[in-house]
Amino acid sequence: MTRTWTPGTADDALTAIAGTPRLVIALDFDGTASPLVAEPMAARALPEVKAQLDRLAALPDTFIAYVSGRSMHDLQAITEHAEDSLIALAGSHGAQYWFPGVGDSEAAAVETDDGAREELWAASQPIVERYENVRLEPKTFGMGIHTRQATPEVEAAVFAEIDALVAERFPHWRRRAGHRVLEFSSRAEGKDAAMIALRDHFDATAILFAGDDVTDEDAMRVLQPGDLGVRVGPGESAAALRVENPQQMAALLEALVAERTARRE
């Protein structure tokens, strides 16, 4: 059962994970580190979230990662990524990685079937253009159809057309539905794969993962005893804790900093 965390209150699960020897803090970006915005590439992490992640990254044996459905190129842009960053990146729902001191992983070099991605974009664009306030986002392994500014009726209609198109031409591609977005990928990886990769790479003894959307539940469901899932916003979830918004996520991270610092003193 997911329980609501109230800023300023103690929580046994947060206290427990703060004391783990090697901790990974993995955050979804849109809706978790950043508020949801109308223009996807305008998303930026809240300053208070960035500040707490920087404090956590400075602690011994504490590792930070953003885990997103965005392609690596776009994820690096919205996270304002630098080559000397201490924050790992998992893009394309766990099909692409960048690690501090290492760089891109080999997974980032894997391509889709020759021309399939471009064929999908070309077939989808005329559909998207018939609808108001709908946007196609090209991705490394597929595409996303965004409807954040569209009416529910427009969303239902465009999603139905895109679903029919993909079912006809690319029936084996993975479908994901999220908050005002429909995605298709030639890769099968999900954020569950990202949890495994991050745990292995950092030799983590525990992971705190936070996310706000349906795709984040892939990661929540594979968390192990001693890990901690945090749901941001409403919706059914396998997470242990819930916060209302990215602002409260920043407050939870601040509490984690205090707990982990106290354990290390």
Please return the burial class of 92, using the count of CB atoms within 10 Å of its CB with bins 0-12, 13-18 and 19+: buried
Enumerate the β-bridge partners of residue 228: 208
Give the mean model confidence (pLDDT) for residues 160-171.
95
Distance CA 199, CA 223 (A): 10
- Global pTM? 0.85
- Average of per-residue pLDDT values in the chain: 93
Distance CA 39, CA 43 (A): 7
42-80 per-position pLDDT tens digit: 999 999 999 999 999 999 999 999 999 999 999 999 999
Distance CA 69, CA 87 (A): 17
DSSP state of 40: G
Looking at residue 137, its pLDDT comes to: 92
Residue of 25, 21, 16, 2 whose CA lies nearest to 249 = 25
184-199 per-position pLDDT tens digit: 998 888 899 999 999 9
